[in-house]
Amino acid sequence: MISRNTIDQVYETARVEEVIGDFVVLKKSGSNFKGLSPFSQERTPSFMVSPVKQIWKDFSSGKGGNVVAFLMEHEHFSYPEAIRFLAKRYAIEIEETEQTQEEKEKANAKESLYLVNQFAQESFEKDLWEYSEGMAIGLSYFRERGFTDPIIRFFGLGYAAEKKDHFYQKATKSGYSETYLLETGLVMKNERGAVDRFRGRVIFPIRSMAGRVQGFGGRILSNTAKTAKYLNSPESEVYHKSRVLYGIYESKKAIAKEDVCYLVEGYTDVIQLFQNGVENVVSSSGTALTPEQIRLIRRLTSNIVVLFDGDAAGLRAAIRGVDLILEQGMNVKICSFPEGEDPDSFAKLHTQEELQAYLKNEAKDFIEFKTSMLLKEANQDPVRKAATVREIIQSISKIPDPIQQEIYIKQCAAALEVSEPVLFNALAQEQNKKHKPVRKIQNTTNEKQSGIQKIPQQDVMVNPLLFLEKQIISILIQYGDHEASFDELIVSSDAEGNLIEESKTIHTKVHEKVFLDLQQDEVEFIQPEFRSLYDQLIQAYQVEGELKLDKILQQEQPDIGKIISDILLTDEVHQLHDWEKKNIFVKERESVVGQLVSETILTFRRYLIDEKIRSLLEESETTEEGEDASEFLEDVMQYQHLKKVLSKKLNRVL
């Protein structure tokens, strides 16, 4: 692991404006820098970088944070990869923390496998361009496929010579251990000695999201050879077939920018589409799609368009595995090609404009596509049509969003000519099979038209407490250490149980006032990120005596950095101009911080009281009439009175 000392040195040395300036054109704007968002298409700059605070904020996408967060968002690095990138950029020597001998050996072995793979990629690529056999066979093949020389070099394509130990001899002469050559699967060993796995094949390097070579795919060119057409690296410490996507490194920026990923079957499909302007494309390398591969795409976008051949087998392949995508909460579309065509051949025969127009116009929503295809196959047969309905309901049940489920049910009811209540109940049965709680969704069909009960819809509303939680975090970040005066509202009761209210002014630090008030109300924040950040802020003030935001920003939690940058830079965007020159004097926010804190806490309490009243009323509905009911009513009246007191304090009308 990277030592804390190295991480601290990276943060102390790296300048957010310099690093981001390598990727985004920035222009000076007061004490800050501005530029066009690298995460969305825009004409007016809304991307802000603060050299003073060492944070950035993209107001078009809502993203933000420190220099590491930018690399994690823009380059899709992991936290350690971002630290290593910055260390290399600023020539900082990386110090590793003390590891056990076993951990050191494992880390060294894994790094050795990556180094062997990198050497192999460079060797195969060199043989393609400089070795006579590679030029005559491999390079000719790629050019016949329509690949240009720049695209061949961009993807690092190569060629493995036909000689049985050509690569093995080169690798061992260069000092690479036979152990690692065998572990990566680049070399196999039998009674006749060492044999190159990929001999006589063109080579497609498979890279990780960060660009490291994990493994290879090789295609045999001889039609007479009695071996598999395509061959992949075997499973190893650095290559897991179910966790890689061909083209993810080359396409990641385009996928994030376009906010959609095209998913194809083969290596050449990816390269041909990329060459023809569709750069947001990856391949599952001919394997069944896995949840790990879907999650890789989800790091970049929540939209997938699956591209498959136009024949029946291709369409069936498109159906299989898509349920997995739906389960991950992704939006899925299917685009099929004309009979006999695949993405590679279609892209080769059409212009860039024609290809992009086809993908845009022919991509159909997955449920719509599946419904249309299965109905065509059912051919008015009632039994097969019933099976079609069940198959479509199975797919809808995979979708985690109940609103999307309801919309699809309504669309399918019309397309399948089946009543909505029947489909809703079929959905409920499907969910019960999986031991999941039935989603509370509703349809608009008149209940009296059917004896089948429909499921009521759950009310969905935005919780105002989340806004107030963010406001409290903002106050602690900007004014937590300030001292202010507060009008304290003290509510007590007399001997007869009547509420008595009185007010007094106290002087204390803002963080102490916030902490004591929330502790008194036994409040826990709803939003996990706000809850985590609140605990860290209070601890910083109470234990360390001061707030060091840079320490909080250095965590492996991008959401925390996003919240902080949002709070700090949003205020700067909306700062008033120098109105004093026009004799217009505006109160500084610091001068009214006591009022701001008091109003926020009072409003927070008021909403909490509303929640308490609501829960009491719901509880009273299940309680028998009599003494218990009267106690509920008395409690509700007390809370209503307290709410009235708070509203009066806030000068608000009930």
Distance CA 644, CA 499 (A): 11
Contact 242, 293 (CB under 8 A): yes
Q: DSSP assignment of 47-61, as one string?
A: EEEETTTTEEEETTT
pLDDT digits (tens, 9 = 90+) for 272-330: 999 999 999 999 876 778 888 888 888 788 899 998 775 555 566 556 678 888 888 88
Residue 631 banded pLDDT, cuts 50, 70, 90: low
Residue 12, helix vs strand vs coil: helix
Which pLDDT score is estimated for 645? Answer: 63
Query: What CA dihedral angle connects 482, 483, 485 and 490, to 10 degrees?
Result: 100
Which of 277-291, 340-354, 426-440 shows the lowest per-residue confidence on average (mean pLDDT)?
Answer: 426-440
Lowest mean pLDDT among 328-332, 431-435, 443-447: 443-447
Strand locations in 130-182 (E): 158-160
Q: What is the pLDDT of residues 190-241, one digit of tens each?
A: 888 899 999 999 999 999 888 889 999 999 987 766 777 889 999 998 999 9
Please determine, for residue 255, whether its predicted confidence score (pLDDT) is greater than 80: yes
Read off the pLDDT band of 649 (50, 70, 90).
Answer: low
- pLDDT tens profile 256-266: 888 899 999 88
Give 578's contacts (C-beta < 8 A, 6+ positions apart): none
Q: In a 3-state reduction of DSSP, which class is residue 618?
A: helix
Helix (H) / strand (E) element for 56: namely strand 55-58
Work out the end-to-end distance of the chain between its first and last CA atoms, rounded to an integer number of angstroms: 57
Residue 391 corresponds to which amino acid?
E
Q: Check residue 589 and give its pLDDT.
A: 53
Measure Cα distances from 478 to 63, 571, 578 in Å.
Answer: 20, 11, 21
CATH code, 4-89: 3.90.580.10
What length does the chain have? 654
Q: What is the mean pLDDT of residues 564-592?
A: 58
| pLDDT tens digits, one per residue of 43-82 | 788 899 988 778 898 888 888 888 988 988 888 888 888 8
Q: What angle do CA 565, 568, 572 make, to 5 degrees?
A: 120
Using the predicted structure, report yes or no on whether residue 349 has a pLDDT greater than 60.
Answer: yes
Note the pLDDT of residue 447.
40
Spatial contact of 32 and 572, defined as CB atoms under 8 Å apart: yes
Strands 261-264 and 303-308 come out as parallel
Q: What is the pLDDT of residue 239?
A: 92
Is the confidence at residue 453, as pLDDT, over 60? no
For tokens 């979708």, the residue is: 399
Percentage of the chain modeled with pLDDT above 70: 78
Provide, for the chain, the percentages of residues in helix, strand and coil under a 3-state DSSP scheme, each rounded to the nearest 5. Answer: 55, 15, 35
Please give, one letter per residue, the 3-state secondary structure of 500-548: EEEEEEEEEEHHHHHHHHHHHCCCCCCCHHHHHHHHHHHHHHHHHCCCC
Helix (H, G, I), strand (E, B) or coil at 84: helix
Q: Is 599 exposed, middle or buried (0-12, 13-18, 19+ CB in 10 A)?
A: middle
Rounded to an integer, what distance in angstroms lies between the CA atom of residue 37 and that of residue 60? 7
By CB atoms closer than 10 A (0-12, 13-18, 19+), residue 441 is: buried
Q: Which residues of 193-227 are buried (b: 16+ CB within 10 A; e: fewer)?
A: ebebbbbbbbbbbbbbbbeebbbbbbbbeeeeeee
Determine the average pLDDT of the residues in 397-409: 84
User: Is 192:211 a contact under the CB 8 Å cutoff?
Assistant: no
CATH of 99-239 among 3.40.50.720, 3.90.228.20, 3.90.980.10, 3.40.50.300 = 3.90.980.10
User: 63 and 76 in contact (C-beta within 8 Å)?
Assistant: no
Residue 232: strand, helix, or coil = strand
Under DSSP, is residue 494 helix (H, G, I), strand (E, B) or coil?
Answer: coil
HSE-CB of 292 using CA atoms within 13 angstroms: 10
pTM listed for this prediction: 0.61
Q: What is each CA distance from 608 to 361, 488, 526, 538, in whole angstroms?
A: 50, 18, 12, 21
Return the DSSP state at 135: I
Q: What is the DSSP string of 199-225?
A: TTEEEEEEE-TTS-EEEEEEEE--SS-
Q: Are 13 and 37 in contact (CB under 8 A)?
A: no
Going from N- to C-terminal start, the domains of the chain cover 4-89, 99-239, 368-449, 464-569+587-649
The residue among 651 and 614 whose pLDDT is bigger is: 614
Tokens at 616, concatenated: 């009491």
